[in-house]
Amino acid sequence: MTDEQLEKRISDAFAGAVPDVFDEIMEDIQKENAGKGEKTSPKKRSAKRNLIKIITAIAIAAAVILTVIGVSASRADSVLAATVSLDVNPGIEICVNKKHKVLSVDPTTDDAREIIGDMDFKGTSLDVTVNALVGAMLSKGYLSDMANSILISVDSADSKEAVDLQNRLLGEINAFLENDDYKAAILSQTISDNAELKKLAEDYGITIGKAQLINDIISKTGRYSFGDLVALSINELNLLENSGPEHLTSIGKASDKAYIGNEKAKEIAAGNAGVAKESMSDLKVEMEYEDSVMIYEVDFRAGDTKYEYDINAITGAIIKTEKETNRPAQNDSENGSGSRSGSQGQSGGSSGSSGSSGSTSSGSSGNGQSSSGSSGNTQKPAQEASKPAATQPATQPATQPATQKATQAPKPAKKSPIGAAKAKSIAFGHAGVSGGQVKEFDIDLDDVEYEISFKAGKYEYDYEIDAYSGKIISVDKEYDD
């Protein structure tokens, strides 16, 4: 019910409860004043009875008004005005009314239930609730120096209210987390009304805020699928985000302390390429996510060669390298050497009496002797020029580089295990946990598979992962009470 409808209902209720007897009341009062000292007539007694009825009617009307207001206020207090979601890796949705009083706090994952614990926030102010939940994320290790990013998302039909609430919460959480020892990275956004995003959030069991962030990364990079990124934490998504869309506001920098870092990745690439870091030009280092592993993609030029490296962000191992060399000068040199070879033959032939016979002879024999061409017999050199041997010097320079390239092609590398770090990353990614949340981690290479076990939140995980393909063979997840 709108405010206007509520006001009309109150007005109608008041009008219906009070009779229109104002003129009668005034007439009775005047007569009563004129006849003071006289005995009360039946008519006067009737006026008094009417007055009592009016007072009673007014009291009833007031009670009706208070009841309507009370019911409407109670109804307004229970009407959803906005949904605020907090995401680290666990996602929590907070539903509030217009007064920003909490209606409900809903976890989207088992880890989120652990954060909420036995805290009952119903009727509590949004500010108190948010601070309590962020504090629990810190104390339970979901926010840490290794993973310092948190996402705030506000979903409201009132766009101005959504922006105001987003900015307010951004400032409050930043003030709450800011200290000398810990620097938080806070992302905040308002939610667009998108039915597809809501469906994705429901299907994958995440908040619509995280769904929108993932969708933005996919739109910007054009290189991921939605399912690829769902298991990543907000800190990992923040590292992939780089420069965000307009509606995404950020404070602070995502922590990369769990990884080797941009500088180390650049150093590894330069060392492998055999170039000095100072000679690297057009350098670009970006965090990417491929085959369930966070990697650094390092692209640069050195001289006339372009290099591309994929480096495991945790171990520093080189996963893939590509090299492309443009050598226009070298190609000219190869062509030139062919020309020079021809010119040398011509100059050798020029010492003979016949220029044409000397040139052809040089081309056919390739020994630089001009005496055979000096006989003056032009027919024989012409015939030899048509022989296959005559074409050999001309074709050799063209085919030689191709032969060299073929012989220099790298041999297929012997297949080796993916490594413990990659196996660990695959398990964590599938479980939807980050390193800061994991306890009692153990990994063993058993012949052709990695056996991984760990605890995160209130669950125990056991994985078997193919040591060569990285394929998950089996998963066992048990509640640890």
**333 and 454 both lie in a single domain:** no
Alpha helices (runs of H) in 38-82, residue ranges in sequence order: 42-77
**Residue 366 predicted with pLDDT over 90:** no
Of 372, 400, 428, which residue sits at a domain end? Answer: 400
pLDDT band with cut points at 50, 70 and 90 for residue 429:
confident
Q: What pLDDT does residue 141 have?
A: 87
Q: What pLDDT does residue 37 have?
A: 53
**155 and 227 both lie in a single domain:** yes
Q: Supply the pTM of this predicted model.
A: 0.57
Measured distance CA(446)–CA(451) in Å, rounded? 7
Listed residue (283, 299, 288) closest to 239, CA to CA: 288
**Residue 97 predicted with pLDDT over 50:** yes
The CA-atom distances, in angstroms, between 254 and each of 134, 142, 323 are: 17, 14, 31
- SS3 of 457-471: CCEEEEEEEECCCCC
**What element of type H or E holds 345?**
helix 328-349
**114 and 192 both lie in a single domain:** yes
Residue 108 is given by DSSP the state S
- Residue 322 pairs with which residues in a beta bridge? 308
**176 and 233 both lie in a single domain:** yes
- SS3 of 186-247: EEEEECCCCHHHHHHHHHHCCCHHHHHHHHHHHHHHCCCCHHHHCCCCHHHHHHHHCCCCCC
- Higher-confidence residue of 62 and 226: namely 226
**61 and 138 both lie in a single domain:** no
The CA-atom distances, in angstroms, between 106 and each of 93, 96, 117 are: 5, 12, 11
Measured distance CA(433)–CA(439) in Å, rounded? 11
**Is residue 323 situated within a structural domain?**
no
Mean per-residue pLDDT for 312-324? 92
Angle made by CA atoms 435, 438, 442, in degrees to the nearest 5: 100
Radius of gyration of the chain (CA): 42
Q: What percent of the chain has pLDDT over 90?
A: 39
**Is residue 408 situated within a structural domain?**
no
Give the burial string for 13-27 (b: 16+ CB within 10 Å, else e).
bbeebeeebeeeeee
Q: How high is the mean pLDDT of the chain?
A: 75
Alpha helices (runs of H) in 88-125, residue ranges in sequence order: 110-116
Listed residue (469, 438, 443) closest to 455, CA to CA: 438
**Is residue 51 situated within a structural domain?**
yes
Q: What percent of the chain has pLDDT over 70?
A: 65
Q: Any idea which of 65-79, 267-281, 354-368 has the lowest mean pLDDT?
A: 354-368
Measured distance CA(269)–CA(286) in Å, rounded? 13
- Residue 462 pairs with which residues in a beta bridge? 453, 476
Phi and psi at residue 28, in whole multiples of 5°? -65, -40
Listed residue (439, 481, 436) closest to 88, CA to CA: 436
**430 and 444 both lie in a single domain:** yes
CATH code assigned at 439 = 3.10.450.40
Biggest distance spanned by C-alpha atoms of the chain? 170
**Residue 124 predicted with pLDDT over 90:** yes
Mean per-residue pLDDT for 126-133? 95
**Is residue 412 situated within a structural domain?**
no
The CA-atom distances, in angstroms, between 398 and each of 329, 332, 403, 404, 444 are: 16, 12, 9, 11, 54
Domain coverage including residue 390: 328-400
**121 and 187 both lie in a single domain:** yes
Q: What pLDDT does residue 425 have?
A: 80
**Residue 285 predicted with pLDDT over 70:** yes
The CA-atom distances, in angstroms, between 367 and each of 268, 361, 372 are: 50, 9, 11
**Is residue 260 situated within a structural domain?**
no
Of 340, 366, 400, which residue sits at a domain end? Answer: 400
Residue 125 is given by DSSP the state B
**100 and 187 both lie in a single domain:** yes
Of 400, 432, 449, which residue sits at a domain end? Answer: 400
**Residue 63 predicted with pLDDT over 60:** yes
DSSP code per residue over 286-329:
EEEEETTEEEEEEEEEETTEEEEEEEETTT--EEEEEEEE--HH
Measured distance CA(129)–CA(184) in Å, rounded? 19
Locate the DSSP E strands across 313-458.
318-325, 438-446, 449-456
**Is residue 158 situated within a structural domain?**
yes
Measured distance CA(255)–CA(149) in Å, rounded? 8
**Is residue 227 situated within a structural domain?**
yes
Total count of domains within the chain: 5
Residue identified by tokens 């995160």 is 456
- Higher-confidence residue of 59 and 402: namely 59
Tell me the pLDDT tens digit for each residue of 242-261.
Answer: 655 566 888 999 999 889 99
Measured distance CA(308)–CA(313) in Å, rounded? 15
Mean per-residue pLDDT for 417-442? 81
**118 and 198 both lie in a single domain:** yes
pLDDT band with cut points at 50, 70 and 90 for residue 160:
very high
**Strand-by-strand arrangement of the 449-456 sheet:** 438-446, 449-456, 459-466, 472-479
Q: What pLDDT does residue 44 have?
A: 58
**225 and 304 both lie in a single domain:** no
Tell me the pLDDT tens digit for each residue of 434-469.
Answer: 776 788 899 998 889 999 999 988 788 999 998 888
**Is residue 130 situated within a structural domain?**
yes
**184 and 242 both lie in a single domain:** yes
**What element of type H or E holds 153?**
strand 149-155
Residue identified by tokens 């985000």 is 241
**50 and 91 both lie in a single domain:** no
**Residue 318 predicted with pLDDT over 70:** yes
Q: Which 3 state secondary structure label does DSSP give 250?
A: strand
